[in-house]
Amino acid sequence: MNHIRNFCIIAHIDHGKSTLADRLLECTKTIQITEGQMLDNMDLERERGITIKSHAIQMEYVSGGEKYILNLIDTPGHVDFSYEVSRSIAACEGALLVVDATQGVQAQTISNLYMAIEHDLEIIPVINKIDMPSAMPDEVEDEIVELIGCDPEDIIRASGKTGEGVTDILEAVVKRIPAPVGDPQAPLQALVFDSIFNSFRGIITLCKVENGCIRKGDKVKFFNTGMEYTADEVGVLKMDMIPTNQLATGEVGYIISGIKNAKEVKVGDTVTRVDRPCEEAIAGFQEVKPMVFAGVYPIDPSDYENLRASIEKLQLNDASLTFTPESSVALGFGFRCGFLGLLHMEIVQERLDREFNMDVITTVPNVSYMVYDKHGSAKEVHNPSGLPEQTLIEHIEEPYIRATIITDANFIGPIMKLCLDKRGELIKQEYVSGNRVELHFMIPLGEIVIDFYDKLKSISKGYASFDYHIDCFRPSKLAKLDILLNGEPVDALSTLTHESNAVTLGRKMCEKLKELIPRQQFDIAIQAAIGAKIIARETVKQVRKDVTAKCYGGDVSRKRKLLEKQKKGKKRMKQIGNVEVPQKAFLAVLKLD
């Protein structure tokens, strides 16, 4: 056990975590590096150049004549995948804090660092990209010293591109990061930090053994769900899965036990043995808080069960996705999903399409409201289509959240403006330390579900961290905004919005849809309506064919006759023609400014 080191790499976006991981793998001769970012094995990660999933891999390194086993977890940097980072941190004893020499300390550097400190991890600061012409290693070194209060000698200067300083990092990992602590004789306790679905072998559970050991063929049970299985195979994670006879205390590896049902594995659960169970579960992770809610519906209603299975399998691999079933008048049965941000939502939709061949429609994100009718009874409404008639509603109450925003003092002005524009009220403001300010707001949840988080990140250059909890329901003047195409309401585009925003939002939605809906052989009227009152209209012009081209000369009544005939045809076509709304249009409406 003294020769095991478990560590992860944490940093802001694009500070070079995955490239540095490649160099560590190359230096320890774990794998041949054939292309960049070897651990990012998902097509989407390659295309976008970002890490979406944490990746665990085992390396062997010899230091001072002794052989050490290093378990490395490479984590994502984007804030929408911060839940992946929190789970990786729970499975480690130390972390490499990577800072870009050209950028300095940035927002996610700080938030990931605080997460690591909460778990008492040993932090090894690394300045990366020192080979860049624009690098400022001395200034960045001062920033790191101020941030974590270490000695300047403790900071390692390295380059993921050239491989400079990589051996220093490996030496520091062996010398500074503590070996895992645990009792090999105690009952088995293993923390599940991730899982993968394999269509042949069932669900593969990735875990870290805290106490005891697990052998091939042991009867194991999951503490929270109480389900029992046989460990058919245990092993360690290299580029592929390497089977071994046992996983001892402190080791990170995988268990395959032929679990077929996705509901039976929960990330953060504890695996123990049936014959000698542990007394209590390992304290897992904090619960995930979705920031954006949207309805996800199958394009073909008969695919509902397939969609459920696909989302469950995806949730195994992405524990920050939450979902509950819901139904809608126009779209049939589907799910209301919670995402950590708009990028996360886009990635989930892409993965459903690529990995499970599921074509889905995503509705406008929304929240739940309490509707009180004239008889005094209350009903919870998740979807604008579930609202009673306008004449029957006494009043509507919307959920308010208490938001805590921690930011650099330089960004207080723009953040205040953003929150007040979103109908927020400032409760208090206090200075935490140095230049950092904590702001507390009461904001309607409906105002933050779409793009609040993304806007907050861009106006604060990524420095503001945001946390919230639901506080109470308050009466509010809300209006249901419907979008009509040729007089037919489009269910997926209806939203509940505050009366003050309704007209501007309606106008913007109509203008956006006009750009995105393809032209047909007849005029398409796009209208925004509140109840029976039309508040905005745009028209997508018909595609015209010159039917009078063959009437060269002659009496004008011949042209008239042809045009009248065409007019009748268009009218008939409009009655039976239906307007296809492209998926792009649903997504564009979410990003309306």
Q: State pLDDT tens for residues 384-396.
A: 777 777 778 888 8
Q: 505 and 476 in contact (C-beta within 8 Å)?
A: no
Which ranges of 430-495 does DSSP label H, i.e. alpha helix? Answer: 445-448, 452-459
Q: Which pLDDT score, from 0 to 100, does residue 258 have?
A: 80
Q: Which residue has the higher pLDDT, 527 or 289?
A: 527
Q: Which pLDDT score, from 0 to 100, does residue 286 have?
A: 66
Residue 29 has pLDDT above 70, yes or no: yes
Q: Which pLDDT score, from 0 to 100, does residue 329 have?
A: 64
Residue 593 has pLDDT above 60, yes or no: no
Query: Rounded to whole angstroms, how far apart are CA atoms 483 and 321?
Result: 29
Q: 10 and 79 in contact (C-beta within 8 Å)?
A: no
Determine the average pLDDT of the residues in 187-211: 83
pLDDT 10s digits, 53-67: 777 888 888 888 888
Q: 228 and 244 in contact (C-beta within 8 Å)?
A: no
Give me the percent of the chain exceeding a pLDDT of 90: 1
Q: How confident is the model at residue 535 (pLDDT cuts 50, 70, 90)?
A: confident
Q: What is the mean pLDDT of the chain?
A: 81
**Which three-class secondary structure state does DSSP give residue 33?**
coil
Mean pLDDT is lowest, of 263-277, 408-422, 475-489, 571-585, for 571-585
Q: Which residue has the higher pLDDT, 368 or 235?
A: 235
Query: Rounded to whole angstroms, how far apart are CA atoms 88 and 438?
Result: 27
Q: Which pLDDT score, from 0 to 100, does residue 434 have?
A: 64
pLDDT 10s digits, 270-291: 888 888 877 777 776 666 777 7
Determine the average pLDDT of the residues in 373-401: 80
Q: How confident is the model at residue 514 (pLDDT cuts 50, 70, 90)?
A: confident
pLDDT 10s digits, 90-113: 888 888 888 888 877 776 777 788
Residue 519 has pLDDT above 80, yes or no: yes
Task: List all residues 6 or more positions away from 443 whose beta carbon is below 8 Å from its beta carbon.
Answer: 400, 401, 403, 419, 422, 423, 424, 425, 452, 468
Q: Which pLDDT score, from 0 to 100, does residue 34 have?
A: 67
Q: Where are the beta strands (DSSP E) in 106-164?
A: 122-128, 156-157
Determine the average pLDDT of the residues in 521-528: 84
Q: Which pLDDT score, from 0 to 100, does residue 204 have?
A: 86
Query: Rounded to whole angstroms, how far apart are CA atoms 450 and 117?
Result: 31
Residue 220 has pLDDT above 80, yes or no: yes
Query: Rounded to whole angstroms, how far apart are CA atoms 538 and 295?
Result: 26
Query: Rounded to whole angstroms, how far apart are CA atoms 298 and 331?
Result: 8
Query: Which of 479, 482, 474, 531 minimizes the C-alpha distance to 500?
Result: 479
Q: How confident is the model at residue 39 (pLDDT cuts 50, 70, 90)?
A: low
**Which three-class secondary structure state does DSSP give residue 388?**
coil
Q: Which pLDDT score, from 0 to 100, does residue 461 have?
A: 78
Query: Rounded to whole angstroms, how far apart are CA atoms 203 and 108?
Result: 31
Query: Which of 391, 570, 360 minimizes the C-alpha distance to 486?
Result: 570
Residue 431 has pLDDT above 60, yes or no: yes
Determine the average pLDDT of the residues in 539-545: 82
Q: Which pLDDT score, from 0 to 100, does residue 573 have?
A: 66
Determine the average pLDDT of the residues in 360-382: 79
Distances in whole angstroms, Cα of residue 111 to Cα of each of 358, 460, 496? 35, 14, 34
Query: Rounded to whole angstroms, how far apart are CA atoms 130 and 133?
Result: 8
Q: Which residue has the higher pLDDT, 394 or 435?
A: 394
Measured over the CA atoms of residue 336, residue 337, residue 338 and residue 344, the dihedral's sign is negative
Question: Within a 10 A sphere around the Cβ of 523, how many other Cβ atoms?
Answer: 13
Q: Which pLDDT score, from 0 to 100, does residue 135 have?
A: 83
* Beta-bridge partners for 530: 481, 533
Q: Which pLDDT score, from 0 to 100, does residue 590 have?
A: 60
